[in-house]
Structure 1
Amino acid sequence: MTTLRQLEYLISVVATGSFTRAAERLHVTQPALSHQMRALESALGGPLLERLPRSIRLTPLGRAVLPHARAALAEAERLHAVARRTAGLDEGELEIAAIYSVSLGILPPVLRAWRRKHPGVRIRLREYPHADQLQAAMTAGRADLAVGPTPTDWEGPIRELGVEEFALLLPADDPLANSPTGTLALTELADRAWVHYSPDNGLADLLDRVCAQAGFQPQAAIRAEQTSAVPLLAAAGLGPALVPANIVPPEFDGVALRPNPPIRRTLTAYTRTRPDRLTAAFADLLAHQACVAPTRLPLARPTGAEVHPQVG
């Protein structure tokens, strides 16, 4: 039978690269550590580690087992946190996972409000560039709550937060910046080179998809690694950009227009199982205070079907 202690021993040996250093970190004897590792390998049906003269390396079985071992320990830690919260202790740590644009746009004011209400609860924020990576992290047990686009084939609870609007960004002196309706069709920008996103950013997929639906493929003048840099690059005149409207800073030095037809996606908060009281309280605050679709940008006047791409 596999135990959490054995999984902890495996993770420590891999992290330190040595049975001796792992034993010192765990405050156990090396023979006791080796005995538990042999018991774990016996239970799992094969060797997990290859012992080299000056280091260790994972076997194929070890590489397959390690992520599940980490997830099991993380889940056990959360189990203890849930027990403390249920006992009425307003302390501990809440782990939130989000895509980059969410951590830039809707989360900061929510986290500020949460801090005022629950100063004893620490928040750990994990950020991911793509909605698929966010969902994989939640599946692996790396956070209590995920915030991002609606996950696919998700069996746990999902709470809808609202419909996120997207904005087109141009420099202030762009000939198309003076739209009388505050809107602009993507086709007007078909011959432009765009401020695009790096391929691992989910917004790169979104931009490619909506432009393809408009009948063209966006050319990249520059690809940004950081989502937060895109408004700055657009305002500097490197090309038009498509961003969630809620990440456009109040002091933005360019012009933000609504795409026509509008581009929107639904944002959600989701968990693996029914959330404990602390996680549920954060989700409630998120649902009530998150500014998913800001009103300070000009409102688009739809003339056609809306686009609902579900990527991060």
Structure 2
Amino acid sequence: MATLRQLEYLVAIVDEGSFTRAAEALNVTQPGLSHQFQALEREVGGPLLERLPRGVRLTPAGRSMLPHARAALAEAGRATISARRAVGASTGELHIATLYSVSSGVLPTVLGRWRHKYPGMRIRLFEHRRDDTMAQAMTAGQADVAVGPLPEHWEGTARHIGTEEFLVVTRSDDPAALSGRASEVRLADLAEREWVLFTPDSGLSDILERACASAGFVPRAAVRTEQATSAIGYAAAGLGPALVPANTIPPHFAGTFLRPEPPVRRQLAGYTRTSPDPVTSSFLEILTEPGLLMPRHVARRLRAAERGPRHL
């Protein structure tokens, strides 16, 4: 059976690009590293790396083994942290994987509450543009817990957070806010507008494009951005409507926000690869507290808009 040390050598050789640099990075002798790596290849029954004149290249077997090696090393590191937490250690580091939009919208409140409970704990965030790449990173052992859409067929622990609602944001005097119901807008009525869109590598881009496709049109770009917070600012400045999670809209927002018709929603969850330790469980409990996905200031303005007047 492969040892953690052998897996560490495999990862180091790949990351450093050579046996020599890997040995230097790990502060071991190159003959010792080579001997252990050869033992690993004998264990799996074939070569894991192809030695090239200027570096190394993974074989199919190596490509298959590498993500599992990274995950095993990450899990081994967290095993020590988890054990310290279980015996009551009040210091350490919680690793959280999340999406950029969730990081700016949901997590500030959650982490504020959690840090109040564990003031000695540090937090390390791994922010992702898309939920599929985040799921892959979690499978590889990147973080203790992930916050975002739950991957299909996830085998670890998961806690449902709730339904995140998306809103159309515009400038305060936008015609869309002055027609029909004061709190809603039909996406089809915005088909001829130029939009504040997201960059193609952003998961928010997929959500907007699917919503517009369901309404029968392809949105045209006035500007593209990667961040929901930037999109909100551009929309309020009059560049065009934007579709963003309600929890990313700041208090005292100067523009207007409207519920799209049909509604645009996303289910969020907190999930882990293995059974969570007490500290991670505490974080998951805070995630499920009510009121995180729809801030009070947003809900209050939507209710007021339903009653009128239109200008708030």
Same fold (TM over 0.5): yes
2:292 match: 291
Q: Tell me, yes or no, if the aligned pair for 2:106 and 2:247 is still in contact at 8 Å.
A: yes
Q: Determine if contact 1:93/1:121 at 8 Å carries over to the other structure.
A: yes
- Supply the distance in 2 between the matched residues of 1:145 and 1:241 (Cα, whole angstroms): 30
Structure 2 unmatched runs, 5+: 305-312
State the alpha-carbon separation in 2 of the partners of residues 156 and 290 from structure 1.
Answer: 25
User: Is residue 270 of structure 2 the alignment partner of residue 269 of structure 1?
Assistant: yes
- 8 Å CA contact 1:95–1:125 kept in 2: the answer is yes
Q: How far did residue 16 of structure 1 move? A: 2.4
The Cα shift of 1:289 comes to 6.3
List aligned pairs for 1:82-231, cutoff 5 A: 82-178=82-178, 181-231=182-232
Residue type at the aligned position of 2:139: T
Write the distance in 2 (CA, Å) between the matches of 1:124 and 1:62: 29
Does the 8 A contact of 2:169 with 2:232 survive in 1?
yes
1:24-75 deviation per Cα after TM superposition (whole angstroms, max 9, x unaligned): 3323222111100111111122222233345333334323322221111001
> Deviations for 1:258-308, whole angstroms, at most 9, x for unmatched residues?
22343222211112222111100111122226621123234379xxxxxxx
Mapped partners of 1:28, 1:155: distance in 2: 37
RMSD between superposed Cα atoms in Å: 2.1
Distance 2:302 2:264 in 1: 12
Output the CA distance in 1 between the equivalents of 2:129 and 2:169.
20
1:251: Cα distance to partner? 4.1
| Contact map agreement 2:160 2:270 (CA 8 A) in 1 | yes
For structure 1, the residue ranges without an aligned partner over 5 or more in a row are 302-312
Closer/same/farther in 2, CA of residues 261 and 16 from structure 1, 3 Å limit: closer
Report the more deviating stretch, 50-59 or 108-117.
Answer: 50-59
How far the C-alpha of 1:177 sits from its partner, in A, is 2.6
Q: CA–CA distance in 1 between the matches of 2:263 and 2:58?
A: 50
In the alignment, what sits opposite 1:307? none
* Cα contact 1:11–1:66 (8 A) shared by 2: yes
Q: Which residue of 2 aligns with 1:306?
A: none
Contact (CA 8 Å) 1:110, 1:285: kept in 2 or not?
yes
Q: How does 1:29-108 map to 2 (within 5 A)?
A: 29-108=29-108
Deviation at 1:241, TM superposition (A): 0.6
Tell me which residue corresponds to 2:249. Answer: 248
| Partner residue in 2 for 1:13 | 13
Q: Normalising by structure 1, what TM-score?
A: 0.89
Give the secondary-structure state (helix, strand or coil) at the position aligned to 1:268: strand
Alpha-carbon distance between aligned partners in 2 of 1:243 and 1:183, rounded to the nearest angstrom: 14
* Residues 170 and 241, structure 1, Cα contact 8 Å, conserved in 2: yes
Change in 2 beyond 3 A, CA 1:2/1:253 = same
Instruction: Give the share of equivalent positions with the same residue, in percent.
Output: 57
Alpha-carbon contact 1:221-1:238 (below 8 Å) kept = yes
Q: Distance in 2 between matches of 1:23 and 1:56?
A: 14
| CA offsets 1:240-262 (integer angstroms, 9 cap, x no match) | 11000100122433211122343
Cα drift, residue 115 of structure 1: 2.0
Which has the larger displacement, 199-208 or 276-285? 199-208
Residue 184 of structure 1 and its aligned partner are, at CA, apart by 1.3
Rounded Cα–Cα distance in structure 2 between residues aligned with 1:263 and 1:50: 49
Quote the Cα distance in structure 2 between the aligned partners of 1:45 and 1:13. 19
SS of equivalent residue, structure 1 residue 177: helix
Larger proportion of helix? 2
Q: CA deviation at 1:77?
A: 0.9
- Which secondary structure does the structure 2 equivalent of 1:162 belong to? strand
- Do the aligned partners of 1:260 and 1:300 also contact (CA within 8 Å) in 2? no
> One-letter code of the match for 1:299?
L
CA contact (8 A) 1:194 1:238 kept: yes
Judge conservation of contact 2:166–2:264 (CA < 8 Å) in 1.
yes
The alpha carbon displacement at 1:189 in A equals 0.5
Paired letter, 1:130: R
Which residue identity lines up with residue 96 of structure 1 in the other structure?
I
Code of the residue aligned with 2:243 in structure 1: it is L
Give yes or no for contact 1:161–1:268 (8 Å, CA) kept in 2: yes
Does structure 2 retain, via aligned residues, the 8 Å contact 1:186–1:211? Answer: yes
